[in-house]
Structures are given as structure tokens and as C-alpha cells.
Amino acid sequence: EAGVAQSPRYKIIEKRQSVAFWCNPISGHATLYWYQQILGQGPKLLIQFQNNGVVDDSQLPKDRFSAERLKGVDSTLKIQPAKLEDSAVYLCASSLWGTLKYFGPGTRLTVT
Amino acid sequence: GQQVMQIPQYQHVQEGEDFTTYCNSSTTLSNIQWYKQRPGGHPVFLIQLVKSGEVKKQKRLTFQFGEAKKNSSLHITATQTTDVGTYFCAGGLSGGSYIPTFGRGTSLIVHP
């Protein structure tokens, strides 16, 4: 069984630039999560999808972050414009239902 | 909102010593999960606890869920250098959609 795929693995941008991350969940997994993990902290949920509907996005900074999950499969997370404090690892995860078991390798973003 | 707290933040042990990390929630949880994250890696699912007072073992790891379903612990017996990493708990509120909230994690450093 293929795991959760993410790209790119690393990204370096300057502040005020835009960036996009892509996630392909495990086949058949209806629930998809985007987490932000700042160095030394636990993952913070940005947005949770159930199929292509949003379950929770209460911690997503909507003035600069956006996410979509077209057709209930792949998902894209975008930041525009980026700030220095957005430097973090962005983790995508998926689950069939209930338990969050599978994380992707993450995208490490550095904003300079 | 829901908060999940973990202590300690760091723990240094000599190889062969025991290790325990504690997780506390401000609200009653429907269930709790534990993850291990190696340096530079992504969280890897270890186990899920669902029932009040539940105790589960995985080789040298023992997981407990409190009677009130507001706290949990992970105990490692006779640590090995392979146990190095950060251990996270994550839980969701009882009732409603399951939205996993992570603690800050406990980083375990094992000295040979």
C-alpha cells in the first residue's frame, strides 16, 4: 500500500512570495489533514477535509492560507504572501475514518 | 478551545533506565493516540486507546488511558538508543467530528 505522498520535500522562499504544497493521500482515504509543525512544537491542525468538504479550518490563517481538495482526492495548500513565521514543516495526513494513522513525509518550508 | 498538554518537554536518560511521558487534556477525550517522531522524520502512529482505564502494551512500551478519559501516559521500560525521538499524544473531543489535537511532545534523549 502506497503511503501519503507530498511534494515538494523542501522549499525556500522570500517573505511576501507565494508557495503551494501538494498532497496525495492513501487511496480510498476520505479524511485528509494539513498540519503545521513549527520546530520544537507539536503538529497544529490547519484544515481537515472529509471527502471534498471542510470539517474544520478554525486555525487556518485565512487571510494568507488557502486549501482545496478537488474531487475528494489530492489536496493543495497555498500560502500567499508568506511571512517569516510560516517557516515550518507542513504535514499532510489521511485516514479511512476515525484514527489518524498515516502521515506524509512533510514539506519543510523556509521563509527568508 | 481544547488543549492537550504534555510533560516533561525533554527527558535525558541513561540507556537501560525507564521513561514516562504524561498527557493531560482540558476536556474529556473520545480517544487518544500516541505517536513517535524521529529527528527529521514525520509522526509514526503507535497506538490508540479508547476505553476508560485502558492499558495496552507493546513490548517495552505501556500505554494507559485515565479513568476520566482526560489523561494518558506512555511508559518505556529499559530504554534503548533506538527509543530516541519525540513522543506525541493526540486526542479528540467526545461527541461531534473527530478533530485530533496534538500535545507539544516529549523529546527523549538516551545516553549510551
In this structure, what C-alpha cell is assigned to residue B68? Answer: 476520566
Q: Chain B partners of A106 at a C-beta cutoff of 8 Å? A: 42
- Indicate which of A35, A99, A102, A108 best probes the interface with B, i.e. most B CBs within 10 Å of its own CB: A99
* Under 8 Å between Cβ of B2 and B27: yes
**A3 alpha carbon, distance to own chain's centre:** 15
Helix ranges (H only) for chain B are none
In this prediction, residue A77 has a pLDDT band, given cuts at 50, 70 and 90, of very high
Secondary structure in 3-state letters for chain A: CCCCEEECCEEEECCCCCEEEEEECCCCCCEEEEEEECCCCCCEEEEEEECCEEEECCCCCCCCEEEECHHHCCEEEEECCCCHHHCEEEEEEEECCCCCCEECCCEEEEEC
Question: What integer pLDDT is reported at residue B3 of this predicted model?
Answer: 83
pLDDT given for residue B96 in this prediction: 61
CA distance A41 to chain B (A): 5
Q: Which is it for the CA torsion B100, B28, A53, A73, positive or negative? A: positive
Round to whole Å and give the CA distance between B74 and B108. Answer: 12
Per-residue pLDDT of chain B (112 residues; tens, 9 = 90+): 668 999 999 999 999 999 999 999 988 999 999 999 999 999 999 999 999 999 999 999 999 999 999 999 999 999 999 999 999 999 987 666 678 889 999 999 999 9
Q: pLDDT, tens digit, for every residue of A80-104?
A: 999 999 999 999 999 987 788 899 9
Distance CA(A59)–CA(A81), nearest Å, equals 17
